[in-house]
Amino acid sequence: MAADKAHGTQSVGVDIPWDAVLDWGLALASSGLILSGVFFVLAGALGVLRMPDFFTRMHAAGMTDTLGAEFILFGLILQTGFSQMTLKLLLVAFFLFLTSPTATHAIANAALKSGLKPQLGTYKAPDLSQIEGSSNEADSDKAGGH
Amino acid sequence: MTDGFLLKVYVAATILLMVGMALILVRLIAGPTLYDRALAVNSFGTKIVLFLCMFSLIIGRADGVDIAILYALMNFIATVAILKFFRYRALSEPMAPLPASAKFDALRERRRNERSR
Amino acid sequence: MVRFAVVLSIIMSLYWLTLSFYFEPLIMGFGVASVLFTVGLCYRMRILDAETVPYLHMPTTLAYFRWLFVEVVKANFAVVKAVLRPDMEISPTLLTVPTPQTSDIGKTMFANSITLTPGTVSMDIGEDGILVHALLSEMANADDFKEMGERSGWSVGEETSL
């Protein structure tokens, strides 16, 4: 497909290397997708680490499973062209898409049934300056406990 | 032409994924409840699937993706199996309330004693 | 019954071809044998019904997934913002969402969509609806859930909703 395009434009006389443009476009698109997917994965991992109780951590983990995984897999699919690898990567994406919400629901339901109480109401992270001592008196008034 | 650039992107993304895996591992070790740990195992498995896909593109062989498919399925089954095991203390029991048998009464009694101790 | 068997055989054959990608007669023969074996097992287990072989209405389901993807992206950015804020202001909320769907697969689709959207997780399903845990209180908006419920019912081919 790319070769046809290249011939079509070269006959006009404009010497644009369409193959290279297409390659670099695909490479940039897929690397953008992969890196944004990795960003979501890292944000999800950070959320799992930071959130106050189990039921809120669950949401952060779900973020990794949806956009993080799908973005990375679609970024990889852009690079494989159309081959067996593409179909297999699509299968991986499909299975993750199906199983991750079910697994999250299973864990949440088990936690609820075992009597774990979700922490409700507004929560704010404790201010670092309050924990480490009073290094920063100026903004200690906006730090709300929970 | 773009292979060198893409390889760099893949390697960078793989290293960042490993950082994410390390963060999840901290939660796995520190998690106060069992469910935090089950969640961390599940999340870790998803990251391993992504890691395997990336790795098989880095080395340029399709074999890693097969393992990734298997891992995605096994990860789900393992999560459900862990939850089921910790709810019923047996894998062969159906998803139903505990049967009122002498064996399970003894088991429950023993667990209650262990907890109160 | 025959319909389900045929659809299951087609899906299994495509799955085998995707995973093997060898087009030699011997290996294809193995594939045919294993597909027939699997369908036979399903028949013997009496699970050859609409739940094992869900007849998803492809056009509406794909349209629904496209709509859902936009919602998922929006919710993802909200959750990322909440996670990365230094003071991490969150307001976990519980609410019960009624399920207007008539079929089991519609309800499953609805509950799965709720869980798939980051920030809301379906925790339990009962007579009066789905118990949902939301990360931010503005995500626990009954109207949004109503729209999602109607659309998920419509996506599996229910006549009553939308």
How far apart (Å, rounded) are the C-alpha atoms in residues A14 and A6?
A: 10
User: Interface pTM (ipTM) of the complex?
Assistant: 0.84
Q: Which of A36, A41, A74, A105 to mutate to test the interface with C (most CBs of C within 10 A)?
A: A105
The residue-averaged pLDDT of B88-95 equals: 60
pLDDT band (50, 70, 90) for residue A13 = low
Domain that holds residue B99: 3-116
In the three-class reduction of DSSP (H, G, I as helix; E, B as strand; rest coil), residue B95 is classed as: coil
pLDDT, position A16: 80
Q: Does C29 touch chain A (CB under 8 A)?
A: no
Inform me whether the pLDDT recorded for A139 exceeds 50: no
Phi, psi of A48 (to 5 degrees): -60, -35
| Lowest mean pLDDT segment, chosen from A28-32, A122-126, B50-54, C62-66 | A122-126
How far apart (Å, rounded) are the C-alpha atoms in residues B70 and B44?
A: 15
Inform me whether the pLDDT recorded for C152 exceeds 70: yes
Inform me whether the pLDDT recorded for C161 exceeds 50: no
Quick: pLDDT tens for A85-100. 899 999 999 999 888 8
How far apart (Å, rounded) are the C-alpha atoms in residues A98 and A118?
A: 26
For residue C130, give the DSSP letter: E
Tell me how far CA of residue B93 lies from CA of B40, B88, B96, C126, in angstroms.
Answer: 25, 7, 8, 23
Burial class (CB in 10 A: 0-12, 13-18, 19+), A3: exposed
**Burial C62-75, CB ≥16 within 10 A → b, else e:** eebeebbeebbeeb
In the three-class reduction of DSSP (H, G, I as helix; E, B as strand; rest coil), residue A51 is classed as: coil
Quick: pLDDT tens for C42-85. 888 888 877 777 666 778 888 888 999 998 888 888 888 888 88
Chains touching chain B at 3 or more Cβ pairs under 8 angstroms? A
Q: How far is CA B102 from the centre of its chain?
A: 34
In the three-class reduction of DSSP (H, G, I as helix; E, B as strand; rest coil), residue C38 is classed as: helix
Give yes or no for a contact between C126 and C111, defined as CB atoms under 8 angstroms apart. no
How far apart (Å, rounded) are the C-alpha atoms in residues A69 and B71?
A: 14
Inform me whether the pLDDT recorded for A9 exceeds 70: no
How far apart (Å, rounded) are the C-alpha atoms in residues C91 and C25?
A: 61
Domains in chain B, number = 1
Q: Measure A121 CA to nearest chain C CA, in Å.
A: 5
How far apart (Å, rounded) are the C-alpha atoms in residues C13 and C5?
A: 12
Mean pLDDT across chain B: 82
Burial class (CB in 10 A: 0-12, 13-18, 19+), B94: exposed
Give yes or no for a contact between A120 and C92, defined as CB atoms under 8 angstroms apart. yes
Residue of A47, A45, A43 whose CA lies nearest to A56: A47
Give yes or no for a contact between A85 and A94, defined as CB atoms under 8 angstroms apart. no
Q: pLDDT > 70: what percent of chain B? A: 76
pLDDT band (50, 70, 90) for residue B63 = confident
Q: Which of C20, C22, C83, C120 to mutate to test the interface with A (most CBs of A within 10 A)?
A: C83
- Cβ partners under 8 Å of residue B26, min gap 6: A49
H-only helix segments in B1-117 = 3-30, 34-58, 63-88, 102-116
**In chain A, residues 47-106 whose CB comes closer than 8 Å to chain C:** 47, 50-51, 53, 55-56, 58-60, 62-63, 66-67, 84, 87-88, 91, 97, 100-102, 104-105
pLDDT band (50, 70, 90) for residue A142 = very low
Quick: pLDDT tens for C129-147. 888 888 888 888 788 888 8
Q: If phi over 0 gives left and psi between -120 and 50 gives alpha, with beta otherwise, what is residue B89?
A: left
- Sheet hosting strand C130-134, strand order edge to edge: C93-97, C130-134, C120-125
Residue C126, token pair as written in the block: 């009962």
Cα dihedral value A99, A101, A102, A107, nearest 10: 120
How far apart (Å, rounded) are the C-alpha atoms in residues A64 and A48?
A: 10
pLDDT, position A51: 85
The residue-averaged pLDDT of B14-40 equals: 90
Q: Cβ B42–A85 below 8 Å, yes or no?
A: no
Neighbours of B114 (CB within 10 A): 8
Inform me whether the pLDDT recorded for C124 exceeds 70: yes
pLDDT, position A127: 67
Phi, psi of C120 (to 5 degrees): -135, 130
* Nearest residue, CB atoms, B20 vs list A41, A57, A96: A41
The residue-averaged pLDDT of B12-30 equals: 92
Inform me whether the pLDDT recorded for A140 exceeds 50: no
Residue A62, token pair as written in the block: 């779900």
* Helical pair A18-50 and B34-58, crossing angle rounded to 10 deg: 160
B109 vs C111: which has the higher pLDDT: C111
pLDDT band (50, 70, 90) for residue B20 = very high
